[in-house]
Amino acid sequence: MNQLDINAVPFIQDLWNSLYNTELDPNRICCSIQGKTYSYGEFSFQVRLHSNRLIEFRKSNFSDVLNSSNNLENNEPFVTNNIQRTPARNPRIGVIIEDQFDTYCYIVACLIQGCAFVPIQPSYPKSRLEDILEMAELDAWFGPHNTPVIGNTSLFHLNSADLTSSLSSSNGVLICNDVLSSEESTQSLLNSNVHSEYPWENLLIDFPINFDNTAYILFTSGTTGKPKGVPISYSNLQHFYEGFWSLGYSLSASDRFLQMFELTFDLSVSSFLIPLCLGASFHTLDKSIIKPLALYDVLESQRISFALMVPSAVEMLAPYSDDIELPDLKYTQFCGEAFKLNQLNTWSSCCPNSQIDNVYGPTEATIYCTRYTAYPLSHPPKQKNGIVCIGQPMKHVSLKLSESNELMLGGLQTTSGYLHSTEEQKGKFQQGYYLSGDLAEFDGVDYYCLGRLDDQVKVQGYRIELSELEFAASRIRENVRFKAVAIVSESITRLHLFCVSEKLNSFELPSFESQLKDQLPWYMVPHQIHEIPDFPLNVNGKIDKKQLIEMYVKP
Amino acid sequence: MTHSEITEKLQIIFRNVFSTPDIQVTDDLNAEKVDRWDSLTHLTMIAEVESEFGVKFKLKELISMKNVGDMIRLIIEKKQA
């Protein structure tokens, strides 16, 4: 990848063209966020504002990096801002995420400036944020209006006055938590010449994007109780982008994309980046409406033509399928969970005009990396055990099966490894392939995903290691034994936590539950906690999950 | 069926579905005010309400419901129709 011209990352050029090509109408719709519409003029104005802030920041804090980036042979670590860095490391910018217009502008500014964005969910429990911040080693922050900002110990209780001291101790600089309101920005837009002040060629020459630099870092559930940091490079993202366009979708600037994902989830990246690079628009859900209903509301009222969704969303809408009418929907992609045949049938009968693709892939292989077109088809869709097949690798992806039939993901979309990885985590990457943990089968044409080899489960698309939940629980109650189980009922996955303490009913469930909520993100909090006298065991002396469920969970 | 009769029945359903025995159902109650009221339990609650009152909501009606008061008005409307 290093042979490529580092000034020419094609998807960044497309992005720039959408934002700053003076021949395009600045009033065309860029996005609607919770029902409010924004134009490309407004978006590009804000992006440029934040880009300038990033440039200033890099000039004052990363000048050493600039000087030595011309000579990558020189691997001597050097010091900026009191942190040792290797020359190839680009700035890491924390973005405190909210479903707001500004958040998207911050992220796009980071990408255009060749920085790594690290989305930080402010509602995460303090201990999880601390783990994430420790690993992420952020250099600076973007935060929204009036949000209390974090320091090295994720002090969300801090007010802005405490900001400077907490940030200086984490070596992170707050770039911006004070943006113009959209009325002000529209006014400034009218008064200024957006396109002339900072010609983009100059910016990129100042700060060339190295293909191997990190574009974003996301954190996923880890077995040891700590989240794992997955860095995705500009090269990974560019190859996903090329792979996407090789899927044969017929799309233009007039298409309208769904963006239903939280920004800590990589499916959000394609949901906003593809439309922005195309000059099209993306649309988020109205938060005042409860989620599956908000999803239908945006699909219908915004006349969405391209939707990337999780299958459980359809499951929840299924009882109302008679009311669903979405004539504008041309393409639906399902990702993030096993896509079931009945979900496919529901959706294809609701939206007969929409092509339905099942796409598959973990965060480690950049957004998604295989595709199967399940509708329309001349033959029945391929499936195993009622799960739709995941199809074939995308353009820059290569797949193979290990001896134990574990699906291995190689090629240019796969990350080079976790942040600060342990030996066990390093073992997940072998000869350029990532061991996905998914059990798979290959019929000579297409791949099928048959389930997990480990205890990882998905709740509404979020990856959860059951051992991480057990680990968090055992930190709160040391003398209690725990078993976490995911139970699927009517295609909805719910977590149950079983607890065996030395003395029955000594558990104090309410305080335990609230402490657990303080440690885990919402999707990892168990649906039900069962205090039981003892675990039923199978013949091998292991906890009998089936019996456990039969004994204690109401069907 | 009167507004208060419906409220009473809803209270039983809500306490059960949201596993929160002290919920007081009022017209302005909504998901933000109940911890266990999320996208999954919401749909369970709707299904329970539909079967209790023998009504069926349309998707658009569900989208426009902002609180319990909206739901009660819809139930009364549907029972009269």
Three-state DSSP state, A355: strand
Domain extents in chain B = 3-80
ipTM > 0.85? yes
pLDDT at A272: 98
Three-state DSSP state, A211: coil
- The pLDDT tens digits along chain A (555 residues) read 333 344 568 899 899 889 988 888 999 999 999 889 999 999 998 888 888 878 877 777 665 444 444 433 333 333 333 344 444 578 888 888 888 898 999 999 999 988 999 998 877 777 788 788 888 888 887 875 444 444 432 233 223 333 333 333 444 555 554 444 444 444 444 444 444 444 444 444 456 778 889 999 999 988 777 889 999 999 999 999 999 999 999 999 999 999 999 999 999 999 999 999 999 999 999 988 888 899 999 999 999 999 999 998 888 888 889 999 999 999 999 999 899 999 999 999 999 999 999 999 999 999 999 999 999 987 899 999 899 999 999 999 999 999 999 999 999 999 999 999 889 899 999 999 999 999 999 999 999 999 888 888 888 888 898 888 888 898 888 888 899 999 888 778 889 999 988 776 777 888 898 888 888 888 899 989 998 888 888 877 778 888 888 888 876
- Which residues neighbour B72 within 8 Å (Cβ) at sequence distance 6 or greater? B3, B6, B7, B10, B27
Q: Are A324 and B40 within 8 A, CB to CB?
A: no
> Minimal Cα distance from A297: which residue of B?
B63
pLDDT at A333: 98
Type of residue at B60: K
- Partner residue facing B43 (CB), from A292, A323, A324: A292
**What is the phi-psi region of residue A490: left when phi exceeds 0, alpha when psi lies from -120 to 50, beta otherwise?**
left
Which comes out higher in pLDDT, residue B39 or B12?
B12
DSSP type of residue B50: H
pLDDT at A45: 87
- What contacts 24+ positions apart, CB below 8 Å, involve A10-16? A10/A238, A10/A241, A10/A242, A11/A237, A11/A238, A11/A241, A11/A273, A11/A277, A12/A111, A12/A112, A12/A209, A12/A234, A14/A277, A14/A278, A15/A108, A15/A111, A15/A112, A15/A273, A15/A276, A15/A277, A16/A112, A16/A200
Q: Are B62 and A317 within 8 A, CB to CB?
A: no
- Which residues in chain A have their CB less than 8 angstroms from residue B60's CB? 323
- Which residues in chain B have their CB less than 8 angstroms from residue A317's CB? 59
Q: Are B42 and A296 within 8 A, CB to CB?
A: no
- What does the angle CA A303 – CA A144 – CA A142 come to, to the nearest 5 degrees? 110
Average pLDDT over residues B16-45: 89
- Rounded to a whole number of angstroms, the distance from the CA of A32 to the nearest CA of chain B is 18
Reported as a single tens digit per residue, the pLDDT across B55-80 is 999 999 999 999 999 999 999 999 88
Q: Are A316 and B39 within 8 A, CB to CB?
A: yes
Three-state DSSP state, A9: coil
- Which residues in chain A have their CB less than 8 angstroms from residue B43's CB? 292, 316, 319
- Rounded to a whole number of angstroms, the distance from the CA of A328 to the nearest CA of chain B is 18
Q: Are B31 and A290 within 8 A, CB to CB?
A: yes
Q: Measured in whole angstroms, how far is the alpha carbon of residue A343 from the centre of its chain?
A: 23
Dig out the tokens for A30 from the structure.
């860029």
**Which of A440, A444, A265 is CA-nearest to residue A363?**
A265
Rounded to a whole number of angstroms, the distance between the first and last alpha carbons of chain B is: 13
Question: What is the fold, at CATH topology level, of the domain defined by B3-80?
Answer: 1.10.1200
Q: What DSSP letter does each residue of A158-185 carry, written as one string?
A: --GGGHHHHHHHHT-EEEES-PPPHHHH
* Whole-number percent of chain B with pLDDT over 70: 100
- Cβ contacts from A onto B, under 8 A: 32
Distance CA A394, CA A39 (A): 32
Whether A331 contacts A357, CB under 8 Å: yes
pLDDT at A162: 34
Whether A365 contacts A432, CB under 8 Å: no
For β-strands A392-393 and A228-233, DSSP reports them as unpaired
pLDDT at A454: 85
Distance CA B62, CA A210 (A): 49
Distance CA A225, CA B37 (A): 27
Dig out the tokens for A428 from the structure.
């997940």
Give the global pTM: 0.83
Whether A455 contacts A465, CB under 8 Å: yes
- Rounded to a whole number of angstroms, the distance from the CA of B11 to the nearest CA of chain A is 20
Reported as a single tens digit per residue, the pLDDT across A537-547 is 887 777 888 88
**Which of A512, A416, A453, A496 is CA-nearest to residue A223?**
A453
Q: Are A288 and B66 within 8 A, CB to CB?
A: yes
Distance CA A260, CA A271 (A): 8
- What does the angle CA A262 – CA A264 – CA A265 come to, to the nearest 5 degrees? 70
- What does the angle CA A336 – CA A435 – CA A240 come to, to the nearest 5 degrees? 55
Q: Are B31 and A294 within 8 A, CB to CB?
A: no
> Minimal Cα distance from B43: which residue of A?
A316
**Which of A86, A453, A518, A422 is CA-nearest to residue A229?**
A422
